[in-house]
Amino acid sequence: MLKKIFISAVLLLAVLSFVVSLLKGNNNGEKTVTVPDRVAVINIDGTILSGGDSHDNLFQQSQGITSGTIMRQIREAAADSSVKALLLRIDSGGGSATAAEEVARELRRFKEKTNKPVVATMGNTGASAAYWIAVCSSDKVYANATTLTGSIGVYMPYMNTEELFKKIGISTGKIKSGPYKDIMTNDRPMTPEERAILQNIVDEIYVQFVDAVAKGRKMEASSVRRLADGRVYTGLQAKNLGLVDEVGDYYDALAAAGELGGIKLGEDGLPPVKTQSKQQPWEYFFSAKIAEAVQTAIMQQLQGSLQGNAVQNVAR
């Protein structure tokens, strides 16, 4: 019986693997590289979140990217000897300051370990946390003239629904271990002491943001601070203010990355590219769930076998 179970599991694994290979085909988004030297392109789209590798499920795709995904791709680029430059292709309005800090630290490690150039290019938006990532370690930063960028600043949202609760007859209460344990609760006004605590946190993160921009753009912190009131700038305004290096598109930035990396350019004036496309939902389903499916099938077979043996023993 165990032999039959094992054979069934192997056959199931083979069938699922065959299905994956048929579905996947050439949809991995990576070009065939004939020239060994190339630029690694990392796409940073949507809200930037702090956390591990982001995955889509079978029915929907996430609208953002996690710091874990970006950091993994940076490390993969660092470990690939064919990669001679890194290009960050950004289209994001921002996100978590912690995520930006994590990615910035990994980009610094990339530079220290490989001594290879980093270029950033921004599409519709490259603001707030996305701008932090774009400028922290880049040798060149590109933006389109109409890109919305900057938004150098930090905010911490909160909501007070106390009056609404009163109107609909809801009262709340809590037992807490300290006076600030329920800080930012939405069922009462914030006290001056609580506001001061949170303001200190926002100010501290703001200083880190300003310092990151100052170091990345080789500007005085005081000069950055004059621009860092939270407003966004167009790419053209950012160029004039020194917040980006060039007004240009993705291909301009890609060509610059190739030149900085000493890569032989093709007839189109561009270097070969290594890019990681966003994982498709069916890819996640068949790759991440395949082991679970096999395990479930084996367990069902074992349980059926054991139950059958038990019935036979009782019958005897």
As annotated, the active-site residues are 128, 181
Output the DSSP codes for 221-232.
HHHHHHH-SS-E
Tell me the C-alpha distance between 45 and 124, whole Å: 10
- The 10 Å Cβ neighbour count of residue 25 is 7
Q: Return the number of other C-beta atoms located less than 10 Å from residue 104's C-beta.
A: 22
Q: Which two tokens stand for residue 100?
A: 């930006």
Contact in structure between 69 and 84 (CB atoms under 8 Å): no
In whole angstroms, give the CA distance from residue 228 to residue 153. Answer: 6
Q: How far is it, in rounded angstroms, from Cα 213 to Cα 228?
A: 10
Token pair recorded at residue 227 = 């621009």
- Residue 86: CA atoms inside 13 Å, Cβ hemisphere, count? 31
**Tokens standing for 229?**
């009131």
CA atoms within 13 A on the CB side of 35: 17
Q: What is the DSSP letter of 94?
A: -
Q: Cβ(56)–Cβ(89) under 8 Å?
A: no
Give me the residues paired with residue 29 across strands. Answer: none
User: Cβ neighbours of residue 221 under 8 Å, at least 6 residues apart?
Assistant: 210, 211, 214
125: helix, strand or coil: strand
Closest CA to 73 of 279, 280, 253: 279
- CA–chain centroid gap for 269, Å, is 29
Question: What whole-number distance in Å separates Cα of residue 135 and Cα of residue 172?
Answer: 46
